[in-house]
Protein backbone atom coordinates (compact mmCIF):
# COMPACT_ATOMS: atom_id res chain seq x y z
CA UNK A 1 0.00 0.00 0.00
CA UNK A 2 2.85 2.40 0.81
CA UNK A 3 4.34 1.86 -2.65
CA UNK A 4 0.93 2.47 -4.25
CA UNK A 5 0.48 5.74 -2.35
CA UNK A 6 3.98 6.93 -3.19
CA UNK A 7 3.50 6.16 -6.86
CA UNK A 8 0.25 8.10 -6.86
CA UNK A 9 1.77 11.08 -5.04
CA UNK A 10 4.79 11.10 -7.34
CA UNK A 11 2.82 11.20 -10.57
CA UNK A 12 -0.76 12.33 -9.94
CA UNK A 13 -0.01 16.03 -10.23
CA UNK A 14 1.23 15.80 -13.82
CA UNK A 15 -0.32 12.66 -15.30
CA UNK A 16 -3.73 11.28 -16.06
CA UNK A 17 -4.88 8.52 -18.35
CA UNK A 18 -7.64 6.01 -18.95
CA UNK A 19 -5.85 2.86 -20.05
CA UNK A 20 -7.54 -0.17 -21.53
CA UNK A 21 -5.79 -2.62 -19.20
CA UNK A 22 -5.99 -2.13 -15.46
CA UNK A 23 -4.04 -4.05 -12.79
CA UNK A 24 -5.82 -5.78 -9.93
CA UNK A 25 -7.29 -3.87 -7.00
CA UNK A 26 -4.71 -2.20 -4.82
CA UNK A 27 -2.32 -1.47 -7.69
CA UNK A 28 -2.17 1.56 -9.98
CA UNK A 29 -0.26 1.98 -13.21
CA UNK A 30 1.36 5.35 -13.84
CA UNK A 31 2.98 6.77 -17.00
CA UNK A 32 6.77 6.75 -17.04
CA UNK A 33 7.13 9.84 -19.26
CA UNK A 34 5.99 13.36 -18.24
CA UNK A 35 4.88 14.20 -21.77
CA UNK A 36 4.87 12.49 -25.18
CA UNK A 37 7.40 9.63 -25.10
CA UNK A 38 10.49 10.00 -27.30
CA UNK A 39 10.41 8.47 -30.78
CA UNK A 40 6.67 7.91 -30.49
CA UNK A 41 5.38 5.42 -33.06
CA UNK A 42 1.92 6.04 -34.52
CA UNK A 43 -0.39 3.10 -33.90
CA UNK A 44 -3.40 2.04 -35.95
CA UNK A 45 -5.96 2.36 -33.17
CA UNK A 46 -6.49 2.41 -29.40
CA UNK A 47 -4.87 -0.01 -26.97
CA UNK A 48 -6.85 -3.21 -26.60
CA UNK A 49 -6.61 -6.59 -24.87
CA UNK A 50 -7.25 -10.12 -26.07
CA UNK A 51 -7.79 -13.33 -24.10
CA UNK A 52 -6.11 -16.46 -25.46
CA UNK A 53 -8.15 -19.59 -24.76
CA UNK A 54 -8.57 -23.13 -26.04
CA UNK A 55 -5.50 -24.49 -27.79
CA UNK A 56 -3.66 -21.23 -27.06
CA UNK A 57 -4.15 -21.55 -23.30
CA UNK A 58 -1.08 -22.18 -21.13
CA UNK A 59 -1.20 -24.97 -18.54
CA UNK A 60 -4.94 -25.18 -19.17
CA UNK A 61 -5.56 -21.53 -18.36
CA UNK A 62 -6.23 -18.53 -20.61
CA UNK A 63 -3.82 -15.62 -20.75
CA UNK A 64 -4.22 -11.94 -21.57
CA UNK A 65 -2.27 -9.91 -24.12
CA UNK A 66 -2.19 -6.15 -24.66
CA UNK A 67 -1.92 -4.73 -28.17
CA UNK A 68 -1.04 -1.25 -29.47
CA UNK A 69 0.63 0.08 -26.33
CA UNK A 70 1.65 3.68 -27.02
CA UNK A 71 1.60 5.05 -23.46
CA UNK A 72 4.10 3.07 -21.37
CA UNK A 73 3.35 2.66 -17.68
CA UNK A 74 4.79 1.04 -14.59
CA UNK A 75 2.83 -0.66 -11.84
CA UNK A 76 4.34 -1.18 -8.40
CA UNK A 77 3.85 -4.30 -6.28
CA UNK A 78 5.05 -3.99 -2.68
CA UNK A 79 6.48 -7.00 -0.80
CA UNK A 80 3.92 -9.07 1.08
CA UNK A 81 6.33 -9.85 3.89
CA UNK A 82 9.68 -8.66 5.24
CA UNK A 83 11.38 -6.75 2.46
CA UNK A 84 14.80 -7.83 1.23
CA UNK A 85 15.46 -4.38 -0.19
CA UNK A 86 15.65 -5.87 -3.69
CA UNK A 87 13.49 -4.74 -6.60
CA UNK A 88 12.87 -6.39 -9.97
CA UNK A 89 11.43 -4.71 -13.06
CA UNK A 90 9.49 -7.24 -15.13
CA UNK A 91 9.37 -7.15 -18.95
CA UNK A 92 6.56 -9.35 -20.37
CA UNK A 93 7.18 -11.02 -23.71
CA UNK A 94 5.15 -10.83 -26.89
CA UNK A 95 7.52 -10.52 -29.85
CA UNK A 96 7.63 -6.71 -29.55
CA UNK A 97 4.07 -6.80 -30.94
CA UNK A 98 1.93 -7.50 -27.87
CA UNK A 99 2.53 -7.96 -24.12
CA UNK A 100 1.62 -11.16 -22.27
CA UNK A 101 0.61 -9.04 -19.34
CA UNK A 102 -0.58 -11.70 -16.88
CA UNK A 103 1.27 -14.88 -17.96
CA UNK A 104 4.63 -13.08 -18.00
CA UNK A 105 3.75 -10.06 -15.89
CA UNK A 106 1.30 -9.85 -13.02
CA UNK A 107 1.65 -13.54 -12.08
CA UNK A 108 5.41 -13.06 -11.79
CA UNK A 109 4.97 -9.98 -9.60
CA UNK A 110 2.67 -11.91 -7.29
CA UNK A 111 5.40 -14.54 -6.89
CA UNK A 112 8.24 -12.07 -6.31
CA UNK A 113 6.41 -10.09 -3.65
CA UNK A 114 5.91 -13.22 -1.55
CA UNK A 115 9.71 -13.37 -1.29
CA UNK A 116 10.13 -9.83 0.01
CA UNK A 117 11.03 -8.37 -3.38
CA UNK A 118 9.48 -5.15 -4.66
CA UNK A 119 8.21 -5.70 -8.19
CA UNK A 120 7.63 -3.10 -10.91
CA UNK A 121 5.72 -4.28 -13.97
CA UNK A 122 6.64 -2.33 -17.09
CA UNK A 123 4.00 -2.00 -19.80
CA UNK A 124 6.44 -0.94 -22.50
CA UNK A 125 5.57 0.32 -25.95
CA UNK A 126 4.57 -2.19 -28.62
CA UNK A 127 2.85 -0.87 -31.75
CA UNK A 128 0.83 -4.03 -32.37
CA UNK A 129 0.61 -6.69 -35.03
CA UNK A 130 -0.90 -4.31 -37.59
CA UNK A 131 2.19 -2.09 -37.27
CA UNK A 132 4.68 -4.97 -37.43
CA UNK A 133 7.06 -3.28 -39.93
CA UNK A 134 7.63 -0.55 -37.34
CA UNK A 135 8.16 -2.91 -34.41
CA UNK A 136 11.01 -5.13 -33.37
CA UNK A 137 14.09 -5.33 -31.22
CA UNK A 138 16.46 -2.43 -30.70
CA UNK A 139 17.96 -0.86 -32.80
CA UNK A 140 15.22 -1.54 -35.36
CA UNK A 141 12.80 0.05 -32.92
CA UNK A 142 14.27 1.95 -29.94
CA UNK A 143 11.10 2.61 -27.96
CA UNK A 144 10.98 -0.47 -25.73
CA UNK A 145 14.60 -0.03 -24.63
CA UNK A 146 13.95 3.67 -24.01
CA UNK A 147 11.10 2.66 -21.70
CA UNK A 148 13.34 0.16 -19.91
CA UNK A 149 16.13 2.67 -19.36
CA UNK A 150 13.68 5.26 -18.10
CA UNK A 151 12.02 2.86 -15.66
CA UNK A 152 15.32 1.68 -14.19
CA UNK A 153 16.23 5.30 -13.45
CA UNK A 154 12.81 6.08 -11.98
CA UNK A 155 12.92 3.11 -9.62
CA UNK A 156 16.44 4.04 -8.50
CA UNK A 157 15.37 7.67 -8.05
CA UNK A 158 12.63 6.60 -5.60
CA UNK A 159 14.58 3.81 -3.92
CA UNK A 160 14.61 5.43 -0.47
CA UNK A 161 10.86 6.15 -0.54
CA UNK A 162 10.03 2.61 -1.65
CA UNK A 163 12.47 0.95 0.79
CA UNK A 164 14.64 -0.35 -2.04
CA UNK A 165 18.40 -0.76 -1.99
CA UNK A 166 19.54 1.28 -5.05
CA UNK A 167 22.26 -1.33 -5.62
CA UNK A 168 19.80 -4.24 -5.80
CA UNK A 169 17.58 -3.29 -8.72
CA UNK A 170 17.33 -5.99 -11.36
CA UNK A 171 15.40 -6.88 -14.49
CA UNK A 172 13.52 -10.04 -15.47
CA UNK A 173 11.99 -10.73 -18.86
CA UNK A 174 10.55 -13.42 -21.10
CA UNK A 175 11.06 -14.00 -24.83
CA UNK A 176 11.21 -10.50 -26.38
CA UNK A 177 11.30 -9.25 -22.79
CA UNK A 178 14.29 -11.53 -22.28
CA UNK A 179 16.02 -9.83 -25.17
CA UNK A 180 15.22 -6.49 -23.53
CA UNK A 181 16.88 -7.77 -20.35
CA UNK A 182 20.07 -8.28 -22.37
CA UNK A 183 19.72 -4.94 -24.16
CA UNK A 184 19.23 -3.05 -20.89
CA UNK A 185 22.20 -4.94 -19.42
CA UNK A 186 24.61 -3.73 -22.07
CA UNK A 187 23.14 -0.36 -23.13
CA UNK A 188 23.40 1.64 -19.92
CA UNK A 189 26.53 3.78 -20.30
CA UNK A 190 24.68 6.03 -22.75
CA UNK A 191 20.97 6.80 -22.70
CA UNK A 192 19.46 6.26 -26.15
CA UNK A 193 17.09 9.23 -25.83
CA UNK A 194 17.54 12.85 -24.88
CA UNK A 195 17.10 13.30 -21.09
CA UNK A 196 13.76 14.84 -20.13
CA UNK A 197 14.18 15.49 -16.38
CA UNK A 198 16.32 14.79 -13.32
CA UNK A 199 15.49 11.07 -13.30
CA UNK A 200 17.43 10.66 -16.52
CA UNK A 201 20.59 11.72 -14.75
CA UNK A 202 20.42 8.60 -12.56
CA UNK A 203 22.01 5.31 -13.58
CA UNK A 204 19.91 2.96 -15.68
CA UNK A 205 22.24 -0.04 -15.19
CA UNK A 206 20.53 -3.16 -13.78
CA UNK A 207 22.38 -4.74 -10.85
CA UNK A 208 21.36 -8.24 -11.95
CA UNK A 209 19.44 -9.76 -14.84
CA UNK A 210 17.17 -12.75 -15.46
CA UNK A 211 16.37 -13.73 -19.06
CA UNK A 212 13.89 -16.56 -19.62
CA UNK A 213 13.63 -18.12 -23.09
CA UNK A 214 15.02 -14.89 -24.64
CA UNK A 215 14.87 -14.14 -28.35
CA UNK A 216 16.64 -11.93 -30.90
CA UNK A 217 20.12 -12.75 -29.53
CA UNK A 218 21.73 -15.38 -31.78
CA UNK A 219 22.39 -14.91 -35.46
CA UNK A 220 21.65 -18.43 -36.70
CA UNK A 221 20.70 -21.98 -35.76
CA UNK A 222 23.56 -24.19 -34.59
CA UNK A 223 25.77 -21.17 -34.00
CA UNK A 224 26.80 -19.24 -30.90
CA UNK A 225 27.36 -16.07 -32.93
CA UNK A 226 25.71 -13.29 -30.93
CA UNK A 227 23.74 -10.34 -32.28
CA UNK A 228 26.50 -7.73 -32.74
CA UNK A 229 24.40 -4.94 -31.20
CA UNK A 230 24.51 -6.91 -27.96
CA UNK A 231 27.96 -8.48 -28.35
CA UNK A 232 29.81 -5.24 -29.03
CA UNK A 233 28.59 -3.67 -25.78
CA UNK A 234 29.28 -6.47 -23.28
CA UNK A 235 31.87 -5.48 -20.67
CA UNK A 236 32.82 -6.57 -17.15
CA UNK A 237 30.20 -4.05 -15.97
CA UNK A 238 27.41 -6.09 -17.56
CA UNK A 239 25.39 -7.37 -14.59
CA UNK A 240 25.35 -10.99 -13.35
CA UNK A 241 22.85 -12.89 -15.45
CA UNK A 242 20.58 -15.94 -15.11
CA UNK A 243 19.48 -17.65 -18.35
CA UNK A 244 17.01 -20.47 -19.00
CA UNK A 245 15.76 -21.99 -22.25
CA UNK A 246 14.53 -25.29 -23.69
CA UNK A 247 16.23 -27.10 -26.56
CA UNK A 248 12.85 -27.68 -28.20
CA UNK A 249 11.88 -23.99 -28.04
CA UNK A 250 10.70 -23.47 -31.61
CA UNK A 251 9.87 -19.79 -31.21
CA UNK A 252 13.18 -18.52 -29.84
CA UNK A 253 16.15 -20.82 -30.36
CA UNK A 254 18.23 -22.29 -27.57
CA UNK A 255 21.16 -20.63 -29.35
CA UNK A 256 19.81 -17.30 -28.10
CA UNK A 257 20.70 -18.20 -24.53
CA UNK A 258 23.86 -20.12 -25.49
CA UNK A 259 25.31 -17.26 -27.53
CA UNK A 260 24.70 -14.69 -24.79
CA UNK A 261 26.06 -16.99 -22.08
CA UNK A 262 29.29 -17.60 -23.99
CA UNK A 263 29.77 -13.88 -24.61
CA UNK A 264 29.23 -13.13 -20.91
CA UNK A 265 31.67 -15.88 -19.95
CA UNK A 266 34.30 -14.50 -22.33
CA UNK A 267 33.89 -11.03 -20.76
CA UNK A 268 34.22 -12.41 -17.22
CA UNK A 269 30.61 -11.65 -16.27
CA UNK A 270 29.09 -14.09 -13.72
CA UNK A 271 26.37 -16.06 -15.49
CA UNK A 272 24.25 -19.12 -14.80
CA UNK A 273 22.67 -21.10 -17.64
CA UNK A 274 19.97 -23.78 -17.51
CA UNK A 275 19.02 -25.69 -20.67
CA UNK A 276 16.39 -28.42 -20.79
CA UNK A 277 15.47 -30.85 -23.54
CA UNK A 278 11.71 -30.31 -23.32
CA UNK A 279 9.37 -27.55 -22.27
CA UNK A 280 8.80 -25.42 -25.34
CA UNK A 281 8.20 -21.69 -25.16
CA UNK A 282 6.04 -19.17 -23.26
CA UNK A 283 5.14 -21.14 -20.14
CA UNK A 284 5.63 -18.23 -17.76
CA UNK A 285 5.28 -19.12 -14.10
CA UNK A 286 2.62 -21.77 -14.63
CA UNK A 287 3.68 -25.26 -13.51
CA UNK A 288 3.65 -28.10 -16.01
CA UNK A 289 5.10 -31.62 -16.04
CA UNK A 290 8.30 -30.26 -17.61
CA UNK A 291 11.27 -29.58 -15.30
CA UNK A 292 11.88 -26.16 -16.87
CA UNK A 293 8.68 -24.89 -15.27
CA UNK A 294 10.40 -25.18 -11.89
CA UNK A 295 12.64 -22.27 -12.79
CA UNK A 296 11.35 -20.01 -9.96
CA UNK A 297 13.16 -22.17 -7.39
CA UNK A 298 16.36 -21.92 -9.46
CA UNK A 299 16.05 -18.13 -9.55
CA UNK A 300 15.39 -17.95 -5.81
CA UNK A 301 18.59 -19.92 -5.15
CA UNK A 302 20.58 -17.83 -7.62
CA UNK A 303 19.44 -14.56 -6.03
CA UNK A 304 20.68 -15.85 -2.69
CA UNK A 305 23.97 -16.98 -4.27
CA UNK A 306 24.75 -13.52 -5.66
CA UNK A 307 23.75 -11.79 -2.40
CA UNK A 308 20.52 -10.11 -3.54
CA UNK A 309 18.28 -11.99 -1.10
CA UNK A 310 18.85 -14.23 1.92
CA UNK A 311 19.70 -13.59 5.58
CA UNK A 312 22.79 -11.52 4.78
CA UNK A 313 21.31 -9.51 1.93
CA UNK A 314 20.30 -6.38 3.87
Burial 244-271 (b: 16+ CB within 10 A, else e): bbbeebeebbbbbbbbbbbbbeeeebeb
Measured CA to CA, the distance from residue 156 to residue 85 in angstroms comes to 12
Measured CA to CA, the distance from residue 280 to residue 247 in angstroms comes to 8
Helix (H) or strand (E) holding 173: strand 169-174
Q: Which residues contact 60 (CB under 8 A, 6 or more apart)?
A: none
How many CA atoms does the CB half-sphere of 274 hold within 13 Å?
19
Helix (H) or strand (E) holding 156: helix 143-157
Helix (H) or strand (E) holding 275: strand 271-276
Exposed / middle / buried, residue 71 (Cβ in 10 Å: 0-12, 13-18, 19+) = middle
CA angle 80, 85, 90 (to 5 degrees): 70
- pLDDT (mean) for 57-83: 93
Please give the backbone phi and psi of residue 98, each rounded to the nearest 5 degrees, phi first: -135, 175
- pLDDT (mean) for 94-110: 96
Prior bond of 139 cis (ω within 30°): yes
CA distance from start to end of the chain: 22
All domains of the chain in start order, with CATH: 2-305 (3.40.50.1820)
Q: Treating both helix axes as pointing N-terminal to C-terminal, what angle do 254-267 and 176-186 enclose, rounded to 10 degrees?
A: 20
pLDDT tens string 259-309: 999 999 999 999 999 999 999 999 999 999 999 999 999 999 999 999 999
pLDDT tens string 191-226: 999 999 999 999 999 999 999 999 999 998 888 999
| Model pLDDT, residue 42 | 82
Taking the model in full, what pTM does it have? 0.92
| Model pLDDT, residue 136 | 84
Q: Which residues contact 189 (CB under 8 A, 6 or more apart)?
A: 237
Amino acid sequence: MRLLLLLALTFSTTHSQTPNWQPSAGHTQVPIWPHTPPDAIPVTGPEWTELATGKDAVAGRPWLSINRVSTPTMTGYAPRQNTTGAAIIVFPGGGYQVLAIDLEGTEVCDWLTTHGITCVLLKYRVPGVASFPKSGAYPKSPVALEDAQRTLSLVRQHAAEWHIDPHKIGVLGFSAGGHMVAAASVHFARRIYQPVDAADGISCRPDFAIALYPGHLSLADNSIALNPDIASHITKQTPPTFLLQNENDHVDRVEDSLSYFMALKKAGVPAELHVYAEGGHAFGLRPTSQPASRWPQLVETWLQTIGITGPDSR
